[in-house]
Amino acid sequence: MPKAAKSKKAPPPTPYAEPKSKKPEPTGPVWEAKPKHFGIGQDILPKRNLTRYVRWPKYVRIQRQRKVLYQRLKVPPSINQFTNKLDKNVQTNLFKLLHKYRPESKAEKKERLQASAEKVEKGEADESKKPLFIKCGIHHITKLCEQKKAQLVVIAADLVIWLPAVCRKMDIPYCIIPSKARIGALVHQKNATAIALTGVRPE
């Protein structure tokens, strides 16, 4: 009898990565999605920033509106020039100079005039000249500038807007200082908006 044909062996299967089975999502009361409903009698609304919805007092509203307006408005140059003030070191040197030219008090003036009158009565020649002092008073300083007699003008307030313009026109040097009280103390007053020097002693 003929021999039976040998059956061929099947080749081994090629190795491949088994598909990863997706893990089933956990279910239960802890992980269950619970969308919130904010209807009447439902979930409570989260806390919000309600400052925009608060009815603020009138003075607070005016403060905030003023701040916004100041940010939007442009300052005119005639007023803005008063922001360019002298620094502290220059101010101290200036006040050292001005302190030497403080105007005399009423008592000192009375003594000086009395002494000069006594000299005239005795028949002596009174050679004493009127001493150099700081000039104060806005109108007086404006006239001095117009007559080109002022040599230095010190301005302390943004109320005298015309004075820097007059100084520039007449080529008179001027400076701006923040304190009105400090200038007032030089001329025996509580406050002074401007002072001027008309001359300096040779020494």
The band of 52, judged by pLDDT with boundaries at 50, 70 and 90, is confident
Half-sphere exposure of 17 (CA within 13 A, CB side): 3
pLDDT at 154: 92
Between 120 and 135, whose confidence is greater? 135
**pLDDT, mean over the chain:** 83
Note the pTM of the prediction, 2 decimals. 0.58
Q: Which residues contact 133 (CB under 8 A, 6 or more apart)?
A: 101, 102, 103, 104
**Domains plus CATH for the chain?**
79-112+131-197 (3.30.1330.30)
> Which pLDDT value is given to residue 188?
85
Q: What is the pLDDT of residue 173?
A: 93
pLDDT score at 171: 92
Rounded Cα distance, 95 and 110, in Å: 26
